[in-house]
Structure 1
Amino acid sequence: MLNISPNKIEGKVDTSKFRSFAMVKDYHAGKTFTRLIIIFFILFILALFLPWTQNIRSTGVVTTLQPDQRPQNVNSVISGRIEKWYVREGNYVNKGDTLLYISEVKDDYFDPELLSRTQDQITSKSSSLDSYSGKINALENQIEALLKTKELKLEQAKNYIRQIELKIQSDSIDFQASKTNNSIAENQLERMEQLHKSGLKSLTDLESTRLKLQETQAKKISAENKLLSSRNELINAQVEINSIENQYRDKLAKTESDKYTAMSNKFDTEATVSKMENQYKNYSVRLGMHYITAPQNGYITETIKSGIGETLKEGEQLLTIMPSEYDLAVSLYIKPMDLPLIREGQPIRFIFDGWPSIAFSGWPNLSYGTFGGEVVAIDNFASPNGQYRVLVAPDDNDEAWPEGLRVGSGANGMALLKDVPIWYELWRKLNGFPADYYVSENSSDKIQKKK
């Protein structure tokens, strides 16, 4: 009965006919265990049909939503030497507050009267510019006077030519008259000689006629000589016109050359004045850059340069300011194979460093200490780490992010995908299939509203 003896009765005696055997041996434990196995199996089968939220897990860091809200480096625009600090790390500064003062290290800016001396140079050059303007006006008046004188001279010469032309016309008439008289005298002499031969005229009349012919010949020669002289005067007058034109052309060319030289000097002086005024403005702005001011409200987080008398170069970093007002966001880095599953407006759950949480990736509603967000931007190119950066902003319809959260803190993100049964998720993972690629109606509606 107690199986102490090596002699067994099992199979030899029918124990069901004896009540004592039934009271000694208990079969309830086996039945209970069988029932538990069946119950657990049924629960397991039922659990396979429970909803499971597919997700992508990734890590990132807390940042800001706007670029101007991120930590900003304050640089020195000019080279110089640190003379005095007005702040220390941890101080709160307003926009425009003085952070430090630097002095010059270049000998071009050592003169304390640099601005006044530069202004004096600009004044002198401006006076020279006025002188050139006066010279140009005087040369223009001179050119105008030469043009008027030239016109008068040419008009006078043209009138003289007209007089000579009229004189030539008169001399030509006189010459024709003398030729006519000479011809008449020759005819009279011929008739007088015939009459003398006939005895009708005396020798005295013949000689008188011959004398008259010589007089007409002399008058003819004198008239021809006078005509030729008038024609020469006309040629001389025409040559005089060309001489006047050439003379005044040379004078005008020289005066215009002087004018253009003065204009060139004036333009050079204007360029010099403009350059000096630009230099004066640069000096004025540079003097204002000796005091480094805060670009916006925030806290001094780190001073790169320190001490008094330390020199720095143009564009060298001096300190870092963290803006006091900012909108938090998280930069998540997604693997390239998971990037097609991410869409703008997609919900994300976060576990921040320093905040206790109990997270169930498949049942986000049962998680504790997680915070919601939604995707607002996805990079189109990979980061240096080979992954794609996704910017996630807080979800306005979810619990607010912790107030003590700071930029640079770590964050573990879970991108929530499609709700599927557990058996489907197990089957997918066993076969190595990717998560379902879909866009939910809610997320698509949000995207359309934002656009």
Structure 2
Amino acid sequence: MLHISNNNIDSHEIEKKVYALQTLGTPRSGRVIAYWLIGIFVFFFLCLFLPWQQNVQGYGYVTAFAPKDRPQTIPSVIAGRIEKWYVQEGQKVSAGDTILVISEVKDEYFDPQLPERLQEQIKAKNEGIAATQTKINALEDNIEALQNGLKFKLQQAANKLQQARFKLQMDSADYEAEKINMQIARRQFQAGENMYNGQLISLVDFEKRKAKLQETQAKLIAYQNKVDVARNEIINAQIELSSIRADYAKEISKAQSDKSSAVSYLADAQGELSKQQNKYSSVQVRIKNRAVIAPQDGYVVKALKAGVGETLKEGDPVATIQPAKPAKAVELYVKAMDVPLLEKGRMVRLEFDGWPALQFSGWPSVSVGTFPGRVAVIDYVNSKDGKYRILVTPDNEEEEWPEQLRLGSGVSGFVMLNDVPVWYEIWRQLNGFPPSLQSPTAGAEDSVDKKKEGEKDAKK
């Protein structure tokens, strides 16, 4: 419009009245939609540059960190028959409480006075051992006395033999001297006989010399007899010496044989005594094992045997107990390809079954209903399904886990890794690249160390 006339024409009025002009313009609703689309595009474009924390996802359940805190089955140590139950399922028990009592099913343990009878047998065996020991001591004394007597008798016989030898020497000397006297008497007799025949001496002198010769002959014979007697005495002394050795050797051998028999019996008796004592101790332990007791404080989860009168074998489980106040942990299973990215001390966000949660895996700060944890254990071998198990413990520096958590509850967890832009994460997922690997911060490692120290202090 040139605006030459003072009468202005309202263009908006013309557009309202002329329908063709209205169809040529852009609809109002289209402009609004375009504005919204542009805004949404700009919003999502800006979101591509927001930080996104990479993570490894795993599924598992709540467990106990220490093996002693995990549910355990209580077996019956001995075979028997259930006589009485003292607990019910869900009941709290303390260490040493009786769970049930069983009776014997083996005939060798039916005797109610078996311990007393075994004690009597042990007492009798001890008395027999004491008597045998006394007999051995007496035999040892007898052997010692025989050995001393042998020494005395041998010395006595040796002295007697020596005396006989001395006597033989003396008698031999007298015999030799008498032989000389005999020679002298014979020469004198021969000389006297010659002189008598020559009538140089009288008959009386000759008879004296003859009598002297006869007397000397008689003495020589007597000394010869003494020498023979002395020799016989030496032989008898030697025989007596050998006889003493033989007699005492026989008596000592008999005493030693009796001692050996007694020692052998003593060894057998001591072996039987050890067996009886072992059996007595085993019976005492078996009597105690008739009562199945709780090994630690906890709760009876389930009775694995029912009723009264049911028979049990050795090692049959009778009940399951959950220890009280276990140190809880989470057992997560992750893929094998994600294991190299995991390290002890990494932060984990956990979502427990039964607790409402809104989880943004890449933005843990805006997640609601999740709980923190730290990686404590990474298995060195995989499980049956090819996944690897990790144990996650509570992070004491942050929010505590719910007290109502029960072992076995389902859990989904996210192990936090490196921060990257959203566009990079989308690009990585589309290309199938692994997450960016970054070691856990020093603070995370310190928190794990502090947690372990806290657990040690709590145990002390």
Q: Do the aligned partners of residues 192 and 389 (structure 1) sit closer, same or farther apart at CA in structure 2, a change above 3 Å counting?
A: farther
1:27-426, aligned counterparts within 5 Å?
46-185=46-185, 212=212, 216=216, 219-220=219-220, 222-426=222-426
Select between 415-424 and 249-258 the one with higher mean Cα deviation: 415-424
Return the offset for 1:409.
Answer: 0.8
Q: Which amino acid aligns with 1:141?
A: D
Q: Which amino acid aligns with 2:340?
A: P
Q: Distance in 2 between matches of 1:112 and 1:425?
A: 77
Q: Do the aligned partners of residues 421 and 184 (structure 1) sit closer, same or farther apart at CA in structure 2, a change above 3 Å counting?
A: farther
Structure 1: where are the runs of 5+ without partners?
1-19
Q: Which amino acid aligns with 2:95?
A: K
Q: Distance in 2 between matches of 1:446 and 1:225?
A: 121
Select between 294-303 and 305-314 the one with higher mean Cα deviation: 294-303
Return the offset for 1:122.
Answer: 2.3
Return the offset for 1:59.
Answer: 0.9
Give deviations 1:89-117, integer Å, cap 9, x for gaps: 22222233332222222222222222222
Return the offset for 1:203.
Answer: 8.4
What secondary structure, in the 3-state scheme, does the structure 1 residue paired with 2:167 have?
helix
Q: Distance in 1 between matches of 2:277 and 2:73?
A: 32
Q: Distance in 2 between matches of 1:186 and 1:399?
A: 147
What secondary structure, in the 3-state scheme, does the structure 2 residue paired with 1:68 have?
helix
Q: Which amino acid aligns with 1:93?
A: V
Give deviations 1:130-150, integer Å, cap 9, x for gaps: 322232232223223322322
Q: Distance in 2 between matches of 1:392 and 1:213?
A: 137
What secondary structure, in the 3-state scheme, does the structure 2 residue paired with 1:338 have?
helix
Return the offset for 1:43.
Answer: 5.3
Structure 2: where are the runs of 5+ without partners?
1-19, 454-460
State the partner residue of 1:13. Answer: none
Select between 269-278 and 351-360 the one with higher mean Cα deviation: 269-278
Select between 273-282 and 185-194 the one with higher mean Cα deviation: 185-194
Q: Which amino acid aligns with 2:237?
A: A
Q: Do the aligned partners of residues 23 and 268 (structure 1) sit closer, same or farther apart at CA in structure 2, a change above 3 Å counting?
A: closer
Q: Do the aligned partners of residues 211 and 45 (structure 1) sit closer, same or farther apart at CA in structure 2, a change above 3 Å counting?
A: farther
Percent sequence identity is 47
Give deviations 1:164-203, integer Å, cap 9, x for gaps: 1210221121133123334444655676688789886678
Q: Which amino acid aligns with 1:95?
A: A
Paired residues of 2:51 and 2:419 also in contact (CA < 8 A): yes
Return the offset for 1:255.
Answer: 0.9
What secondary structure, in the 3-state scheme, does the structure 1 residue paired with 2:337 have?
coil
What secondary structure, in the 3-state scheme, does the structure 2 residue paired with 1:143 have?
helix
**How much is the aligned-residue C-alpha RMSD, in angstroms?**
3.3
Return the offset for 1:394.
Answer: 0.8
Give deviations 1:220-264, integer Å, cap 9, x for gaps: 455345334323322331232122112111111111211221222
Q: Distance in 1 between matches of 2:370 and 2:449?
A: 27
- Equivalent pairs counted in the alignment come to 432
Paired residues of 2:376 and 2:448 also in contact (CA < 8 A): no
Q: Distance in 2 between matches of 1:297 and 1:29?
A: 73
Q: Do the aligned partners of residues 100 and 31 (structure 1) sit closer, same or farther apart at CA in structure 2, a change above 3 Å counting?
A: closer
TM-score (ref. length: structure 1): 0.84
Select between 181-190 and 143-152 the one with higher mean Cα deviation: 181-190
Q: Distance in 2 between matches of 1:43 and 1:317?
A: 63
Paired residues of 2:347 and 2:415 also in contact (CA < 8 A): yes
Q: Which amino acid aligns with 1:307?
A: G
Q: Which amino acid aligns with 1:123?
A: K
Return the offset for 1:36.
Answer: 7.1
What secondary structure, in the 3-state scheme, does the structure 2 residue paired with 1:263 have?
helix
